[in-house]
Each structure stands twice: as C-alpha cells, then as structure tokens.
Amino acid sequence: MPQLEEIFQRYTDALSKIILHKWAEDTERDEHGHWVGGGGGKPGGSGGTGGATTGGDRAARAKATHQVCDKAKRGIASASEVEVSKALGLARTEDNKPFDAKGNGVAVELKTIVSAKNDKITMHPESRKRKLAEAKKEKLRVYTVVVDKRGSTPAYYWAKGVGSFRLGGMNQAASLAALKKVVK
C-alpha cells in the first residue's frame, strides 16, 4: 500500500514540525503584537553557550548570529535616532529605559538597519515585557520605527506595538514628515 505509506509519512512529518516548532516570545509579530507567519523559532535553536570553542571561534560564532554593534555602526544608529526623535518631537531616553524616545503620550522603539542582510528585527522577550509594562503603566501609545539605511536614501518603516517584525509586514512612510503624521 505505497499510497497509504506516503500519506502516513506526510502526516508524521507534519506532526514533527508542529511538535518541534517553537512559538517563542521573540518570533515575528504583526502590528498588534500577534505572532505571524510560520514563527521564527528553530528546533533546538537558541540557548546555551555551545561546546568548547576557542576565542576566535566564539567571536566568529557570535558574529554569525547577531549584528555586532561596533563604534562605527553605533554612530550611524545614534545619528539616525537623533534625527527621527527630533522629527517626531520626542526626547531620547537615558540609561536603560525601556523605549528609545518618548513624549506626548507616545513611546517609540527605534531600530536602524545599517548592514544586516536580514529584513527582520528581533527583541528579547524580557525587553518586550518591560516595554509593554511601562506602556500600560503610563498609558502610552507604542510604536516601532525602523530606519533602513542600506540603500542610497533611508527608508522609514513603522508599526504599532513592539516585538519582532519583518520589514515586509510593516508600514512604509515616504519621509520623516509622513512618519510624524502616523506616529502620534
């Protein structure tokens, strides 16, 4: 009964994917903060510090996973953050405050993509909880704004809420002036 075997195999494969799939806190969300798409978790993915590695290996592995923010990248991101905060009429926050910019009942998480190949931004689950707790406590309207600086001119994206987003799932604003009209 080859057909029956094939059906059974498909069923078990699908079931395995469901069981192994992780709907983690930091998977991609829509503008309402709901999980979207196929989820971002990988079976057996994050966690731990791995096996024995040399110093060079460790740095290479870390770089392979994350965009490492050196001084040059931070400079670009800071300039972007200053520009966007000013355009939106918000103040940049200090220390380790949950949001990057706040004012007039609005809180914004700002991200600048400088050189990443990926069109996705992520957020640590605890960081997201802190932001949402502050938003609830202070009755803030919360937005995520991404400035994509990989092209010849910056592109601006925005979404309500905070979390992990793909640029394709966010709204694009034609300019900073246009961004100010929606992030309010």
C-beta of 81 vs 159, nearer to another protein: 81
Residues in 144-173 that interact with another protein by CB under 8 A: none
Q: Which is nearer to another protein, 88 or 113 (CB)?
A: 113
Q: Is 27 in the site for another protein (CB under 8 A)?
A: no
In whole angstroms, how far apart are CA 71 and each of 6, 21, 77, 126?
Answer: 55, 36, 10, 25
Question: Residue 108, interface with another protein (CB under 8 A)?
Answer: no
Subset of residues 43 to 72 that bind another protein, contact rule: CB under 8 A:
46-50, 53, 55, 58-59, 61-71
Instruction: Establish if 78 lies at the interface with another protein (CB under 8 A).
Output: yes
3-state secondary structure 7-46: HHHHHHHHHHHHHHCCCCCCCEECCCCCECCCCCCCCCCC
Is the distance from CB of 87 to CB of 180 less than 8 angstroms? yes
Distance of CA 48 to the CA centre of its chain: 21
The piece of 1-9, 10-18, 124-132, 133-141 that touches another protein (CB under 8 A) is: 124-132
Residue count of the chain: 184
Q: Does 100 bind another protein (CB under 8 A)?
A: yes
Q: What is the separation, in whole angstroms, between the first and last Cα of the chain? A: 63
The DSSP annotation for 98-112 comes to SSSEEETTEEEEEEE
Among 21, 22, 73, 149, binds another protein (CB under 8 A): 73
Residues at the site binding another protein, with contacts judged by CB under 8 A: 26, 40, 46-50, 53, 55, 58-59, 61-71, 73-74, 77-78, 81, 92-100, 109-114, 116-118, 120-124, 126-127, 130
